Amino acid sequence: MASAATAAGAPPGPAAPRGRKSVTGTRRTVAALFLLPALVLLGALVVYPIGYSVIRSFYGASGDGFAGVDNYRTLFTDDGIRTALKNNVIWVVFAPTVSTALGLVFAVLTERVRWGTAFKLVVFMPMAISMLAAGIIFRLVYDQDPHKGVANAVWVGVHDTFAQSSAFPRAHPGRESPLVAQNGGFVTRATVRPGQPVALPLVGVAPDQMPDGARKAVAARPEPGKITGTTWQDFTRGKGVGRLGAPDPSELGYAGMRIEAVKDGTVVASTTAAGDGTFTLPASAAGAHLRLPASNFREPYNGVEWLGPALVTPAVIGAYVWMWAGFAMVLIAAGLAGVPRELLEAARVDGATEWQVFRKVTVPLLAPVLAVVTVTLMINVLKVFDLVYIIAPGSSQDDADVLALELYRKGFAENQPGVASAIAVLLLVLVIPVMAFNIRRLRREGRR
Amino acid sequence: MTWLLEKINGGLVRVFLILVGLFWLVPTIGLLASSLRSPEDMSASGWWKVFTKPSQLTFDSYRKLLENGDITHSLWNTVLITVPATVLVVVIGSLAGYAFAWMEFPGRDWWFLGVVSLLVVPVQVALIPIAELFGRIGLFGSTLGVILFHTGFGLPFAVFLLRNFFAEIPRELLEAARLDGAGELRLFARVVMPLGGPAIASLGIFQFLWVWNDMLVALVFTKSGTQPITVALQTQVRQFGNNIDVLAPGAFISMVIPLAVFFAFQRQFVSGVMAGAVK
């Protein structure tokens, strides 16, 4: 298995350390002096904490009573830690694989456009900024209000394209109205007859909530054999202006209002109002009551609660992928540059489709790089703290909890250093396989 | 026919990549646009309204932010932490990297393996032990403590990267310098360091960004007078929504230096990322 470094071609791999003699006939004291600062700092700041954590994890909160494996038992009984463990599994499974898959797709596709470098720069850029800044960026993106958060603005836009959103929340009949409330909608008191225009006036829709298509309301003309009518906002500012129950020039039609003709509880005909509020129903509606169904008056669709308890972890993972897909892309692109073009060409000449070339040639050749990228991201994911801490609002931070955050909470907010140390040891145990893998790789390279 | 199909395919790829590119840019543009609007406009409507109403653009938030002593002081703290932590890692890492590459001493390879095995140790493991240690020796809350912590955790990667790079220096160069009578230190300063330029640049940029962008370590080890910009902004996040006029420009200012470094030194950054794929 190639190292990321050799797969990427930079920097040069290590030369065999064995057999290389010191050029200078160094005295050992000089070597010790060169090494001393690094070894002292590493010993005091990295090695010592490992030992300390292991020992500390067997002691209680105050640090003077031996607690056996109590702290480790807490790992599996404490609600916060269990949520964190569960979320960490979700993180480790999804964040690295999604980032790597996206990186692979981007790396392969950017090879085909001339502005590939510019694209890579855009996707890679988030790696340079802090997780704090990324967190603030995504707090803005995930804002619940569709008028502020871009994620919900897009989501609601798409939703409303496919599902008619109700345009008239809080509309209701005014004085002397021919309409009465029924099941959240409104229905006419009297039945309708052809040739007699119907008026369906309501009030109460705020001017800025009127649909864009609304135009001046017009009284419907009678048409023989058909039911016609108008539905509009029968409200004009100022006293004594306009007439009640008839459209005035300053009043707007309820563009898009749905109207149903109901006979004995079944809908016999339906239509929607035009921009000026007028509508026409066929003769079959004669003798029916007209109903404005409840779907017209529901509160507008408000989008998804991204940072609510259910979606907060996927949402934060989304922010992570935004930051790290570029990392995967750059490493994979470097690996791709090392794939012999002749192999791909040969497959194409043999009649393979682009998809087959990708699936059967490119991906297997890149397997070592893909593995290194995925493993690297898995380690990285275990350490994720800032993103969760910043993006998850206080109300759902418990639901978004991860081990690194729980360690911080237990150790510094809840004053349980014993339990926090047990979490630290757990994190360490989780990275040991990778530690072993690094050492094996290095020793093999050393022997070459 | 195939020609036409390829044409369509190529078009699809372009459209897809353009959409993805926009998708990646929009969050950052959102932050920038938000930082350039007044808090009143922000609570009234989405940041994208600024594109239809450019008259909303204002630098007021930035002006207020730069008049805010806490924020400017924390920016200065970030510099005070980042620069020494970067220099120390480069110098100490180079010394050790050189020793591992060119000096003879017993157990050299084992020592080196030991350092490399520390590459993947999560910083979280050290938070509690070091907090306790710093508390005992009076470093808790001090800038020096944070600097030392970042140096310690930057060293495994530094030693790994530089030892591998220094090992590639041609032996003849070192021997020639030695024959000219250069001592060990002189050899290191005049021959090894200049030749190691590219690797040192990668390392320096990497460490710089890592320390500049850190929040967790500073959150634990600094106190109110020594906290860097990330921690200062973090305290504001709890009231998210009411203080977007601090958070948005603050986050953007904290991003400017890393982004400038990133765009100026892309090549070194990329090779650092590749060498550090194990970190």
- Residue boundaries of the structural domains of chain A: 4-11+35-142+307-447, 179-296
Q: Please check whether residue A334 touches B, CB under 8 A.
A: yes
Whether residue B14 is found in the same domain as residue B150 = no
Rg of chain A over Cα atoms, rounded to whole angstroms, equals: 34
Residue to test with chain A: of B37, B82, B119, B127, most A Cβ within 10 A: B127
Q: Across the interface, do A35 and B111 touch by the CB < 8 Å criterion?
A: yes
Give the chain B residue whose CA is nearest to the CA of A146.
B46
Please give, one letter per residue, the 3-state secondary structure of chain B.
Answer: CHHHHHHHHHHHHHHHHHHHHHHHHHHHHHHHHHHCCCHHHHHHCCHHHHHCCHHHCCCHHHHHHHHCHHHHHHHHHHHHHHHHHHHHHHHHHHHHHHHHHHCCCCCHHHHHHHHHHHHHCCCHHHHHHHHHHHHHHCCCECHHHHHHHHHHHHHHHHHHHHHHHHCCCCHHHHHHHHHCCCCHHHHHHHHHHHHCHHHHHHHHHHHHHHHHHCCHHHHHHECCCCCCHHHHHHHHHCCCCCCHHHHHHHHHHHHHHHHHHHHHCHHHHHHHHHHCCCC
Q: What is the ipTM of this complex?
A: 0.88
Average pLDDT over residues B247-251: 87
Say if A77 is an interface residue toward chain B (CB within 8 Å): no
Q: Which of A1, A33, A41 to mutate to test the interface with B (most CBs of B within 10 A)?
A: A41
Per-residue pLDDT, A322: 94
Nearest CA in chain A to B216: A386
Answer whether B25 sits within 8 Å of A22, measured CB to CB: no
Q: Does B273 sit within 8 Å of A331, measured CB to CB?
A: yes
- The pLDDT, as a whole number, for residue B120 is 86
Q: Do B102 and A121 touch (CB under 8 A)?
A: no
Same domain, B102 and B226: yes
Q: Domain A4-11+35-142+307-447's class?
A: mainly alpha
Give residue B241's pLDDT: 63
Q: Establish if A349 touches chain B: CB-CB under 8 angstroms.
A: no
Among B8, B17, B118, which would you mutate to test the A interface (most chain A Cβ atoms within 10 Å of its Cβ)?
B17
Q: How many CB pairs under 8 A join A and B?
A: 333
Q: Closest Cα of chain A to B168: distance in Å?
A: 7
Number of domains into which chain B is organized: 2
Q: Using a CB–CB cutoff of 8 Å, tell me whether A310 touches chain B.
A: no
Q: Which domain holds residue B51?
A: 2-58
Instruction: State residue A178's pLDDT score.
Output: 84
pLDDT category at A5 given cuts 50, 70, 90 is very low
Choose the weakest-confidence range: A57-71, A250-264, A276-290, A405-419.
A57-71
CB-CB neighbors (< 8 A) of A113 in chain B: 13-14, 17
Same domain, B54 and B110: no
Same domain, B50 and B67: no
Inter-chain touch A435–B251, beta carbons under 8 Å: no
Is A245 near chain B, with CB under 8 Å? Answer: no
Pair of tokens at residue A371: 């593995």
- Nearest residue of A to residue B251, measured between CA atoms: A133
My answer on whether B46 and B80 are in the same domain is no
Interchain CB distance below 8 Å, A11 and B199: yes
For residues B13 and B79, state if they share a domain: no
CATH number at residue B178: 1.10.3720.10
Name which residue leads in pLDDT, B24 or A143.
Answer: B24
> Pairing between strand A278-281 and A227-233?
antiparallel
Spell out which residues of chain A touch residue B92, defining contact as CB-CB under 8 Å: 37-38, 41
Can you read off the two tokens belonging to residue A412? 């510094």
Beta strand pairing call for A258-263 and A227-233: unpaired
Instruction: Reply yes or no on whether the pLDDT at A166 is more than 60.
Output: no
Q: Percentage of chain A surpassing pLDDT 90?
A: 14
pLDDT at A395: 80
Interchain pair A372, B277: CB under 8 A: yes
User: CA B22, B28, B33: angle at the middle one, nearest 5?
Assistant: 105
Q: Which of B33, B58, B83 is the last residue of a domain?
A: B58
> For residue A237, what pLDDT is reported?
60
Predicted confidence band of residue A189 (pLDDT cuts 50, 70, 90) = confident
Q: Are residues B53 and B144 in the same domain?
A: no
The domain boundary, picked from B58, B79, B97, lies at B58
Q: Is A132 close to B248, i.e. CB distance below 8 A? A: no
Question: Which range among A125-129, B68-72, B177-181 shows the weakest confidence by mean pLDDT?
Answer: B177-181
Name the A residues in 101-120 with CB < 8 Å from any B CB.
106, 109-110, 112-113, 119
Question: pLDDT above 90 covers what percent of chain B?
Answer: 20
Distance from CA of A434 to the nearest CA of B (A): 8
Mutation target among A42, A57, A382 for the B interface, most CBs of B within 10 A: A42
Residues B36 and B140 in one domain: no
Who among B20, B124, B247 is closest to A427 (CB)?
B124
Residues B102, A127: C-beta atoms closer than 8 Å: no
Range among A259-268, A278-287, A360-369, B147-156 rated most confident: B147-156
- Select the residue of B123, B178, B234 nearest A132 (Cβ to Cβ): B234
Q: What is the mean pLDDT of chain A?
A: 81
Q: What is the mean pLDDT of residues A322-340?
A: 88
Instruction: Examine the domain organization and report whether B39 and B112 are in the same domain.
Output: no
Give per-residue pLDDT as tens, A67-115: 777 888 888 888 888 889 999 999 999 999 999 999 999 998 888 888 8
Out of A48, A125, A408, whose CB is closest to B262? A125
Greater model confidence, A214 or A19 = A214
Q: Measured between beta carbons, which residues in chain B are less than 8 angstroms from residue A148?
A: 42, 45-47
Whether residue B46 is found in the same domain as residue B86: no
A45 vs B130: CB contact, 8 Å cut-off? yes
Question: What is the pLDDT confidence band of residue B4, given thresholds at 50, 70 and 90?
Answer: low
Compute the average pLDDT of residues A379-389: 89
pTM of the model: 0.79
Q: What is the pLDDT of residues A334-348, one digit of tens each?
A: 888 888 888 888 888
* The last residue of a domain, from among B34, B58, B82: B58
Å between B69 CA and nearest CA of chain A: 20
pLDDT digits (tens, 9 = 90+) for B114-169: 898 888 889 999 999 999 899 889 888 889 999 999 999 999 999 988 888 888 88
Name residue, tokens 């992570």. A320
Which one is predicted more confidently, A30 or A130?
A130
B96 and B75 fall within a common domain: yes
Tell me whether residue A160 is exposed, middle or buried, using C-beta atoms within 10 angstroms of its C-beta: 0 to 12, 13 to 18, 19 or more: middle
Contact check, Cβ <8 Å, B275/A4: yes
Pair (B43, B132) in one structural domain: no
